[in-house]
Amino acid sequence: MNVIWSKYVQGIGTLYLSRKLRFDDRFASQYKVAFDLDETKPLRILEIGCGPGALSGALRRWYPNAEVIGLDRDSEFIQFAQASENGVTFLEGDATALPFADNTFDVTISNTVSEHIEPSRFYGEQYRVLKPGGVCLVLSSRKGIHLTPDCLLPDEFEQQFWQKVSQLDDSMEKYAVCKYPMSEAELPLAMKQYGFQEIRTGYATVDLTPDDPKYPSEMARAMINANRQNALEAIDSVTATLADHFSIAETDEMRRRVNAKYDTRIALYDQGELLWDTTVSIIMIVRGTK
């Protein structure tokens, strides 16, 4: 049982809630233009490093004729995805040794995974399992905009907590998180280097601004609560990795403060007090053909 990512790096709620928003149907047309897939065909799509499964679920909705398979190394993510996203097959597996025969998929796709896996294995395995003419899609997050409102800024207690964590925490190195980052120029070159042709790039912009009236209140609340979950699960990861350095009282106090702040943010939203805090994600999509 492998739970490295869900326990020590990013929790289920952090990834699932943020990706449900990132791959909400209102942004589908941007992705579909960049993916440029033939929807009339019964495509066989493999998502590599699917995490808790939000992108696989979106692909199932956006390409109803497709068979979608999601694969991840983390057992907790796979169990959660199986229970949460209908119509997709999820399985545990290693992206560096895919459990599939050569030439068996029309599409391979991943979101924020390429930077964590050694490139010759990451691209090589996808090239192997794709059919001739198959499409490899690599999605990665680029520098966007994140504006925190005053009511969510860390107080003195929280600042000291995170300062101590940063001095002690070695989980990024230990678990090879972001060990293979690539710039917007390096990514397409790498895809070419590993055998793909007709390389193209595209960008989707996902604007999450709770106070913007174009978003219904349930989506605005989902944006605020996705950030709350991220903040709470970051404390859970500290509990898992640095239990000897923090008392239960300290981590409980951190959770209490985070919840109080996000309750305030929701209350301000409900009162119609506009803060215009925002998270704008830019997702790069690199497309190559075998």
Residue 133 CA to residue 196 CA, distance in Å, equals 10
DSSP letter, residue 257: H
Instruction: Pick the piece of the chain touching ligand SAM (CB under 6 A) from 111-119, 201-209, 245-253, 268-276.
Output: 111-119
- Strand boundaries in 24-176, DSSP class E: 44-48, 67-72, 88-92, 105-111, 130-147
Nearest distance, CB of residue 4 and ligand SAM, angstroms: 7
Q: How far is CA 91 from CA 8, 72, 74, 79, in A?
A: 21, 7, 10, 9
Tell which one of 117, 135, 224, 286 touches ligand SAM (CB under 6 A): 117
Instruction: Pick the piece of the chain touching ligand SAM (CB under 6 A) from 66-74, 146-154, 156-164, 222-230.
Output: 66-74
Q: Is 258 in the site for ligand SAM (CB under 6 A)?
A: no
Tell which one of 65, 96, 197, 264 touches ligand SAM (CB under 6 A): 96
Binding mask 1-40 for ligand SAM (x = CB under 6 A): ----x---------x---x---------------------
Q: Is 72 in the site for ligand SAM (CB under 6 A)?
A: yes
Tokens of 20: 């449900």
- Strand boundaries in 160-261, DSSP class E: 197-208
Instruction: Pick the piece of the chain touching ligand SAM (CB under 6 A) from 92-100, 191-199, 205-213, 266-274.
Output: 92-100
At residue 147, φ and ψ (nearest 5 deg) are -120, 115
Helix axes 54-62, 12-22, angle to 10 degrees: 30
Instruction: Find, among 253, 178, 262, the residue nearest to 225 by Cα.
Output: 262
Q: Which of 179, 245 has the CB closer to ligand SAM?
A: 179
Q: Is 221 in the site for ligand SAM (CB under 6 A)?
A: no
| Chain residues that interact with ligand SAM, rule: CB under 6 A | 5, 15, 19, 49-51, 72-74, 77, 94-96, 111-113, 116-117
